[in-house]
Structure 1
Amino acid sequence: MTRNDLIRSLVNKLQRRAAEIQEMVRTEFAELQHVSDHTVGDAGDRGIESHASELTSRMAESESRELADIEEALERLRDGTFGDCEDCGKSIPMNRLQVVPHARRCVRCQKASENSQLMAV
């Protein structure tokens, strides 16, 4: 299979994942709205509902970030930079793109980026 064939396969994978995430986020926000509309009971019940709402909100936030990453990957595909590391400019290996199709960096540059973020904290 050629690199172009693999990229087409990855695009389909990205588009399917984006649709899945959009549906999950819609469902999670609907659940949050339902919980906030129907909060009754004692302090323990409200505490459990609050905790569940917080977890659902965090999941939705994470999924929204993944969706943004996917949309950026599709934009890179349109502008011809998909599969190129945004830091060093080299081609991201296909095995990495198969695992993380929305990858913006090669493994070496990703590790360097994560290390610099850790140092900043």
Structure 2
Amino acid sequence: RRELRRMVADNGWAGKLAVAGVVARWQSIVGDQIAEHCTIEAFEAGRITLRASSSSWAQQLRLLQPTIEARIVEALRSGPGGRQAGGISTGEGVELRILGPAGPSWKRRGVGLRGARGPRDTYG
């Protein structure tokens, strides 16, 4: 066990393991209902990007943001990386970026219609 901890510390894996632990325990950290409507999209240096299933859920998550941030910090600190996990240190928190659902892509697909004004020319 000590050898494994030393290997994790020597290779700088503690933060990555802590983040993986948060992703794996996401449902138990935030609860069933939030986990059903929200996923972690990115986690970089203390900043977490969440994607909500709808704009109303994005608004709800913004209202719950301080509570969610506190739960994530606690999960990171109790994980394998301890107090230096996931790009945060003692006294610091995480910053949540909450996004609504992804909108439709306006990229061209295949051949367009002649005389059309572009991919958005669908509204009459």
TM-score (norm 2): 0.27
Q: Which has the higher contact order (CA 8 A, sep 6+)?
A: 2
> Which structure shows the bigger proportion of residues in strand conformation?
2
